[in-house]
Amino acid sequence: MIDGVSLLSGLECRACCTLVEADRLIGVCPTCGHALLATYRLEDAPPGFRPEHWRTRPGGVWRYRELLPVRASRAIASLGEPETGVLPLADVEGADDLDLWAKNDGALPTGAFKAREMSVAISRAAELGARSVFLPSTGNAGVAAAAYGARAGVEVRVYLTEEARPELALACRAFGAQVRTVRGSIADARAAALEQEPGRGSIDLSTMREPYRVEGTKTMAFEIFDRFGAAGLPDAIVYPTGGGLGLVGIFKAFTELRALGWIEAIPRLLPVQAAECAPIVRALREGRSRAEPVPPPLEFVGGLTVPAPFSSERVIEAVRWSGGTGVAVPEREIRAAERRAATTGLVTGLEGAATIAGLAALRREGLLRSGERVLLYLTGGGIAPEVPWMMESAESTLPLRRE
């Protein structure tokens, strides 16, 4: 097990400045209902705490334990998350004067970056005594929660939007989670959850409704720092955005590295949304501090389909404070980019493909300059569509549970 002790010091609400003790189960700010974020005693870091020390440990999510919230090693629910690869992208149309890279989270357990969130959030929930959790999902978050819940011995209920690929529901069940399919958007799935869950003593793992999923997403930035070093960090990170949790985590991680004195500049964060459902990009463009809900789109675009993101203020400030802004790309261009990427061997999922589709718009608007180092974040295509035993036996298999 990896050494190192969490420097977690508490939780804070940036909307109303309430501070909350961290070592009990809590969801949102008790004063105003906004998102809570974890704080760390960076000034109390042990003397040997340096980036070089991290690099003596196995790569992956739990390499960064000091800046993650789980205190006890035995509470860690891990499925062996690897440090995910970065690869140069040499032949992307219209980008040949960029130093272009992709980081591919498809290699994580359950096939997407959601493994980072759920490994950390479910470990922490279990450490604080949670026995069951629930969340609405368009697919990948639900599967990751189901897998890590199984690992941690925590009961998981997933309220899945009906547009999610059917194999994702089967995968959730195969991991032992209960699944309810809900007609409509992720907001409808959440409404269904809020009808069913009261009285069950369960923890709401919805995006930004508990403090620790965002801590897991920080490891995306820590790995980028590890791979490129302080001097070689990308100038900009292009990131596919639904609810925007990953942007909050990436910015938070870089801010913590800067507070430690390990980096100076923070890469510009450039979210890409589907034009059919782009509340965050719209707010960024219109100079507003929070996203206004948009009507649910007619076309489903996977994890990008979040018409009413919660605590969008945190997402928008992360992008603005990094010096970035967002672009929206039509769904058909995203689907075309996904197919184009496949011809180069890359399975991007719709979400990752949005970053490739977004490049042209970013170039057109002068948001990426010639010679810059640019990293496209491929958040992962999700669990493979062909897992035959899951398709055959999920309905009848009894979940295996630790006693």
Say which residues have a Cβ less than 8 Å from residue 52's Cβ, sequence separation at least 6: none
Determine which residue in the list 16, 72, 87, 342 makes contact with Zn ion, applying CB under 5 A. Answer: 16
Question: Nearer Cβ to Zn ion, position 33 or 399?
Answer: 33
At its nearest, how many Å lie between Zn ion and the CB of residue 206? 17
- Binding segment toward Zn ion, per CB under 5 A, in 23-31, 76-84, 199-207, 322-330: 23-31
At its nearest, how many Å lie between Zn ion and the CB of residue 12? 9
Distance CA 207, CA 201 (A): 19
At its nearest, how many Å lie between Zn ion and the CB of residue 184? 29
Rule CB under 5 A: is residue 132 a binding residue for Zn ion?
Answer: no
Question: Nearer Cβ to Zn ion, position 6 or 207?
Answer: 207
Q: Up-side HSE of residue 332: CA atoms within 13 Å toward CB?
A: 0
Inter-residue contact 171 to 390 (CB < 8 Å): yes
At its nearest, how many Å lie between Zn ion and the CB of residue 65? 28
Rule CB under 5 A: is residue 15 a binding residue for Zn ion?
Answer: yes
Question: Nearer Cβ to Zn ion, position 33 or 82?
Answer: 33
Determine which residue in the list 5, 19, 25, 32 makes contact with Zn ion, applying CB under 5 A. Answer: 32
- Binding segment toward Zn ion, per CB under 5 A, in 8-16, 69-77, 265-273, 313-321: 8-16
Question: Nearer Cβ to Zn ion, position 29 or 128?
Answer: 29
- Binding segment toward Zn ion, per CB under 5 A, in 29-37, 49-57, 60-68, 287-295: 29-37
Question: Nearer Cβ to Zn ion, position 138 or 311?
Answer: 311
Question: What residues between 280 and 339 interact with Zn ion by CB under 5 A?
Answer: none
Q: In this structure, which amino acid lies at residue 395? A: E
Q: In this structure, which amino acid lies at residue 326? A: G
Binding-site size for Zn ion (CB under 5 A) equals: 8
At its nearest, how many Å lie between Zn ion and the CB of residue 241? 24
At its nearest, how many Å lie between Zn ion and the CB of residue 17? 7
Determine which residue in the list 7, 8, 11, 13 makes contact with Zn ion, applying CB under 5 A. Answer: 13
At its nearest, how many Å lie between Zn ion and the CB of residue 349? 34
Residue that has been written with the tokens 């003593």 in this structure = 201
At its nearest, how many Å lie between Zn ion and the CB of residue 318? 17
Question: What residues between 105 and 124 interact with Zn ion by CB under 5 A?
Answer: none
Q: What are phi and psi of 156, to 5 degrees?
A: -125, 135
- Binding segment toward Zn ion, per CB under 5 A, in 13-21, 137-145, 158-166, 171-179: 13-21
- Binding segment toward Zn ion, per CB under 5 A, in 6-14, 269-277, 317-325, 334-342: 6-14
Question: Nearer Cβ to Zn ion, position 16 or 342?
Answer: 16
Rule CB under 5 A: is residue 39 a binding residue for Zn ion?
Answer: no
SS (H, E, C) the chain: CCCCCCCEEEEEECCCCCEECCCCCCCCCCCCCCCEEEEECHHHCCCCCCHHHHCCCCCCHHHHHHHCCCCCHHHCCCCCCCCCCEEECCCCCCCCCCEEEEEEHHHCHHHCCHHHHHHHHHHHHHHCCCCEEEEEECCHHHHHHHHHHHHHCCEEEEEEECCCCHHHHHHHHHCCCEEEEECCCHHHHHHHHHHHCCCCCCEECCCCCCCCHHHHHHHHHHHHHHHHCCCCCCCEEEEECCCCHHHHHHHHHHHHHHHCCCCCCCCEEEEEEECCECHHHHHHHHCCCCCCCCCCCCCCCHHHCCCCCCCHHHHHHHHHHCCCCCEEECHHHHHHHHHHHHCCCCCCHHHHHHHHHHHHHHHHCCCCCCCCEEEEEECCCCCCCCCHHHHHHCCCCCCCCCC
Distance CA 105, CA 219 (A): 11
Inter-residue contact 272 to 357 (CB < 8 Å): yes
Determine which residue in the list 3, 23, 31, 339 makes contact with Zn ion, applying CB under 5 A. Answer: 31
Question: Nearer Cβ to Zn ion, position 266 or 315?
Answer: 315
- Binding segment toward Zn ion, per CB under 5 A, in 34-42, 62-70, 108-116, 281-289: 34-42
At its nearest, how many Å lie between Zn ion and the CB of residue 366? 37
Question: Nearer Cβ to Zn ion, position 158 or 245?
Answer: 245
Q: Which residues bind Zn ion (CB under 5 A)?
A: 13, 15-16, 18, 29, 31-32, 34
